[in-house]
Amino acid sequence: TKRPLHVTFKSSLAIGEWSLLRKQNAANAASIISKASRQFYVQIRRSANVGNHIHLVIQGKTRRGIQDFLRTVGAQISTRVTGARKGNPVGKFWDSLVYSRVVEWGRDFRNVCGYV
């Protein structure tokens, strides 16, 4: 919790109608991320929506808060983009688990922020 994390949500299904760059999907993703960050006390240092994946540089107050943030953001974005509902499942939207890496302060943090 003392150092930031670089996390990436990646989906190969995020093309065409489900692209994260579509105006409605981008607005939904941004609102979900900001709401969850306030709810779980996670600071968003940098963010980038690339269309088929989302980069975030985050820092949380607690490990549990970070875990809840990642779980909530992934589930809500995929549900909102695909339109999945109870009784109407779509299947797996994200390719794999969230990629995460602890970022050291200083040069490493500047490089990651420049990348994102």
The 10s digit of each residue's pLDDT in 90-114 is 777 878 888 889 999 989 888 888 8
Summarize the chain as % helix, strand, coil (round to 5).
Answer: 40, 25, 35
Q: 36 pLDDT band (50/70/90 cuts)? A: very high
pTM here is 0.86
pLDDT value for 33:
93
| Among 46, 54, 52, CA closest to 114 | 46
pLDDT value for 50:
85
The 10s digit of each residue's pLDDT in 39-68 is 999 999 999 888 888 999 999 999 999 999
